[in-house]
Amino acid sequence: MASSDSLSNSSSLADWFDAVSHIIYYQPDDALASKTFNERYSDDAVIKINHGRFDKAKYWELIKAARDVNHLAVQSNKELHTWNAPDGLGGGCVAQLGYFTSTKKEDGTQTVASSLTLTNVQVQDGKRVVVELTEIMKP
């Protein structure tokens, strides 16, 4: 479970993004997921998933739809590479490879998928926020 320490600018970039992702995708509280998403994704964030390109609002619609019909569970996540911004404020870029399971709430059908994410994080108003996310997802 993510703690407030893992959402601080002093945690590693990979740990921070893991914590944000856990809250948004994997824990069951929809209100907490929405609040975290709104606080931790920039209003002008650009999200690319495979060939699709989404703004923040459309991406939240996709997340909410996935949460509504599935139980999502992370299987593993590996940091591949990180660049920390030289200003020392906590921004940077992180590449991660993760595996997760989605289980349909209706019938229990499971799908295992992998996701390679490249995440660009900046510090705005003193907090880390995702400004760009590129994801290559494969079921």
Q: Which domain holds residue 134?
A: 4-138
Residue 89 has what pLDDT?
94
pTM: 0.91
The answer to whether the beta carbons of residues 11 and 19 sit under 8 Å apart is yes
Cα distance between residue 44 and residue 42, in whole Å: 5
The CATH number that applies at residue 97 is 3.10.450.50
Bridge partners (DSSP) listed for residue 41: 130
Residue 7 has what pLDDT?
77
Count of domains in the chain?
1
Residue 6 has what pLDDT?
65
pLDDT tens over the chain, length 139 residues: 444 456 777 789 999 999 999 999 999 999 999 999 999 999 999 999 999 999 999 999 999 999 999 999 999 999 999 999 999 999 999 999 999 999 999 999 999 999 999 999 999 999 999 999 999 999 8
Residue 9 has what pLDDT?
79
H/E run at residue 47: strand 41-49
Residue 94 has what pLDDT?
98
Bridge partners (DSSP) listed for residue 72: 102
β-strand pairing of 110-124 with 127-138: antiparallel
Provide the b/e sequence for 92-109 (b: ≥16 CB within 10 Å). Answer: bbbbbebebebeeeeeee
